[in-house]
Amino acid sequence: MNHLKIIILFSLATMVLMGACKEDLFEEEIVDCPMVETTHPEDQATSVPNAQIISVVFNKEMDPSTINSNSIIVDGVSGTVSYSGFTATFTPSSPLDPNSIFVGRVKTSARDLYGLALEEEYVWTFSTGASLSPIVVSVDPENESTGVVLNITLIASFNMPMTASTINDNTFTVTQAGTEIDGTVSYSGLQAFFEPDEDFSTNTEYTATLTTGVENTAGEGMANDYVWTFTTGTDVAPTVVLTDPGDNEADVQLDKVITATFSEPMDPSTLDGNTFLMMGIGAPVTGEVSYSGTTAIFTPSSPLSPGTLYTVAIVDDVQSASGIPLANDHIWTFSTASGDTPTVVSIDPAHNEADVPLNKTITATFSEQINPSTLDGTSFLLLEGTEEVSGEVTYDGFRATFTPNSDLKPNTLYSATITTDVENLTGEGMASNFDWSFTTASEDFNPTVDLRSVDRFGIISGEGISNNAGASQINDLDIGVYPGVRSSITGFSLVDGGPGLINNGNIYASDDPAPVPSMLSEAKNDLTTAYLAAEGAIFPAPVTVSGDLGGQTLAPGIYKSNSTLSIQNGNLTLDGQGDPNAEWIFQVSSALTTIGGAPFPSPTGGNVILTGGAQAKNVTWQVGSSATIGDYTSFNGNVLALTSITMNSFSQANGRMLTSNGAVTLTSTNTINKP
């Protein structure tokens, strides 16, 4: 398959394996490697305080496990490393030597959440001065801030540990027009706090001062007083200034997320399911309430009902960040559309895909259930030029399938169309025709292991599927359980809210309405047939392997293990030697285990790497018991396991996790991409 556009998560995984950030050849988009935006102190800074705490700010969120004393270094200086937000902090174990030059380094072992590393080591220098005097490095509220909330506690952060007894109501003061404000002064960590006895007045300027009487633990005082000002805001009650949907809005989509934007920042702790309410016809709507910026968000637990009037209320228990409640309840209504217009959400083959097998069946997955009577040879067409290709159209679940009556012609451009005659169960037709095209391979390719109908699944199991933690994603594939029931599938969602998301796919179980059970039964039978084909493959003659395959490069062929098999001490490379149809079949009598244990690509191995034109869809792992894909492992190929499959933390696969009898378990932030 040449020039297939893969979704961004697959692109990221590929780039990690290649050790570089790449430009998307089709969309001309750049996937950024992480980089250092700023440091404190800055490069070439002089007269840096000897008790300076050193910080590094990245351009994106990093994997905290990679931000440590091995990746953030100051030459010749011991210290501890912490990480929060986008910022890594290096705290020296003791004050820096005066009048000295220091070199800071951010190593390429620092990686973002996708495992991408800095393109090169970041190096900067700075020099200390002779003084050990402490300084204030930041204050909250900032100098000359306006609209400050009335109940704020002032915070001043120092560059070194201070003597708590020197930070008191004589050295940390707040005044208004020369009159001192009563309050409580305290110190913790590197921060001094001033908590006023009463809320500040509205629309008033205040001055805060830290005097030279404030001393560090060595008895050194600040060189100068530190003075800053701020102005408070009003005590006007907050209001809801915008809602989405709007009041009395009609034809709202069934997957709508409800938002309310306030006139000022709110106290998030006052926004929950008791203060942000939604009611349908005689029954409350369950959902999750969240808050960002000045906007509260209500995400329903399931799609809304069509043609229904809903009422939403934000009650006056909701308070602003300064503790002022809404003056009144804010109530509005909206009504949902009578039914969504169906859309095509995924296709196979993909648009402009090349080297499509000649025996390919063409599929289209819809956004909702379709009326099967509207899907036939006139509404789902396959054309060679202007000539219609004869075939059979079938439908199950959310997917329509066009099966040509004979193999397609080699090296030929075909176009497919889903017309507006296709309707959902409420009679709504597609808004416009959906068209795409693809090109067949120059010769037919019949794989040794043909997945047939189970090809549509990223995960299938007999017992259950679970996503235990983290934002796992299944991309362009379905998940299903048979004979297990829907309640045995946990931790997945078809819409934002997860934690595990199915993107351009669906969730199926044996207790779903017909024809789903028969579709799942067929898929499980095809899995059994594929498993037996892989297990019994004898041409070319199998090569016996054992133990750890890490560090090896294997040509196409069949590799047989009479016991367990692992990939651990190094990566396993599969070299296609220029043949895009090259196949690998691994016959594992017992368990398969990959062991990474560090942010990918793991320097100690565990990854399966493809080169020389090799494709993940042509790699089969037939496992006689259970398979475990280790932490941070980047894996390629279809796993056909007899018992169970487990994907450990942050592991990802370009392939499928298919098990006949047991369960498939995703433990934390795993990704499965269609190969």
- 115 has pLDDT over 80: yes
Contact of 370 with 425, CB cutoff 8 Å: yes
DSSP 532: H
Tell me if the domain spanning 240-336 has CATH number 2.40.10.120: no
Beta partners for residue 181, in sequence order: none
Residue 6 has a pLDDT of 36
| Residue 248: burial class (beta carbons within 10 Å; 0-12, 13-18, 19+) | exposed
Residue 4 has a pLDDT of 38
Q: What is the CATH number of domain 344-440?
A: 2.60.40.3710
Query: Which residues of the chain form CATH 2.60.40.1220?
Result: 136-232, 240-336
**pTM of this structure:** 0.47
Mean pLDDT (the chain) is: 86
Each residue of 563-606: pLDDT tens digit?
999 998 888 999 999 888 899 999 999 999 998 755 544 445 68
Each residue of 405-445: pLDDT tens digit?
999 999 999 999 999 999 987 788 888 899 999 999 887 66
Tell me if the domain spanning 36-128 has CATH number 3.30.70.360: no
| Residue 41: burial class (beta carbons within 10 Å; 0-12, 13-18, 19+) | buried
Residue 516 has a pLDDT of 85
- pLDDT mean over 470-492: 89
- pLDDT mean over 31-36: 84
Residue 338 has a pLDDT of 66
Residue 149 has a pLDDT of 77
Each residue of 501-544: pLDDT tens digit?
888 788 899 988 877 888 899 999 999 999 999 999 999 999 99
Residue 632 CA, distance from chain mean position: 14
Confidence of residue 23 (pLDDT cuts 50, 70, 90): very low
CATH code matching the domain that covers 136-232, chosen among 1.25.40.10, 2.60.40.1220, 3.10.150.10, 2.60.34.10: 2.60.40.1220
Query: Which residues of the chain form CATH 2.60.40.3710?
Result: 36-128, 344-440
- pLDDT mean over 593-620: 78
- pLDDT mean over 340-351: 82
The CA distance from 241 to 175, in Å, is 35
Residue 397 has a pLDDT of 66
Work out whether the CA dihedral 559, 563, 564, 570 comes out positive or negative. negative
Residue 308 has a pLDDT of 82
Confidence of residue 199 (pLDDT cuts 50, 70, 90): confident
Residue 19 has a pLDDT of 43
Least reliable range by pLDDT among 71-80, 364-373, 660-669:
364-373
For 520, list phi and psi in degrees, rounded to 5: -65, -40
Confidence of residue 24 (pLDDT cuts 50, 70, 90): very low
Phi-psi region of 249 (alpha: psi -120 to 50; beta: other; left: phi over 0): beta
- 12 has pLDDT over 60: no
List of E strands, 380-525: 380-384, 387-388, 391-396, 399-404, 413-418, 434-440, 457-461, 464-467, 473-475, 478-481, 489-490, 492-493, 500-503, 507-509
